[in-house]
Amino acid sequence: MTLRAFQIDTFTGKVFGGNPAVVVLVPDWPDDASLAAIAREHNISTTAFLRVAGGSSEIRYFLPIGEVPLVGHASLAAAYVLLRILQPGLDSANLRFRAGSLRVAATAEGGVAITLPARPAQPCAAPEGLAAALGVPIVEARVNEAQYFAVLADQAAVARAEPDMNALMELDRDGVVVTAHGEGCDFVSRAFAPKEGLPEDPVCGSAHLALVPYWSERLGKTRHRALQLSPRGGALDCALEGDAVSLAGRCALYMEATISV
């Protein structure tokens, strides 16, 4: 069986930046073992499998360690493949995933956008040792079901954080996000998820489902320009839309290929 595959760098206008994901087109769903094997073979953070049939589209997400319910940057990559490569005349679509559906749309700036439910983070006491593990003082701490969020004094503090990954592995959440008000943008962040095999996430879409509600409250507005200060870097145009968050960005096609399985 041969399948078309694309590697897309998301939340960036150029290759070698942003967060890469592989999108594989499947005419029908192979067995789960085959999907997992393909993802392991790619050995990239996320492989998204996209099935387009008539007017409906389905998506599943696999890390090298197995399937996960939803991945933000891989959803953006799939949106780019669907709306910019496969069906460039289509303005928007719904992608059905295991737990629901998400809206994807083409943007006037040549990028794509995804809309997902917000995942607000609640105030909490900083876990013991978190500041030491990050190597920077924490101004405020928040938490949701997946991540701790450490608000830092400024953008420079976000840039100089040097986390102890072994210490982060001991926390009772999968990841830690550091954030601060930005210089020349609304806010900046970095995301660390060693439990998921990602010491530093190049651009973490899921983190912004909590960051956007937080900074909307702090800054008194609902539309934001956000930068992720990872080594690869990334830029997001974000909006709080009621109980949902829209994440928009440019994407760069790095590779189009045919795989044989």
Query: In angstroms, rounded to a whole number, what is the distance separating the alpha carbons of residues 249 and 236?
Result: 5
Closest-CA residue to 206 (of 134, 123, 102, 111): 102
Closest-CA residue to 214 (of 131, 142, 166, 117): 142
pLDDT in tens, 82-133: 999 999 989 999 999 988 889 999 998 889 999 999 999 999 999 999 999 9
The H or E element containing residue 159 is: helix 155-160
pLDDT in tens, 130-187: 999 999 999 999 999 999 999 999 999 999 999 999 999 999 999 999 999 999 999 9
CB 82 within 8 A of CB 57: yes
User: What pTM was computed for the model?
Assistant: 0.92
Pairing of the two strands 19-25 and 112-117: unpaired
**Which residues fall within 8 angstroms of residue 100, CB to CB, at 6 or more apart?**
none
| Residue 257 CB neighbour total at 10 angstroms | 11
- At residue 219, φ and ψ (nearest 5 deg) are -95, -10
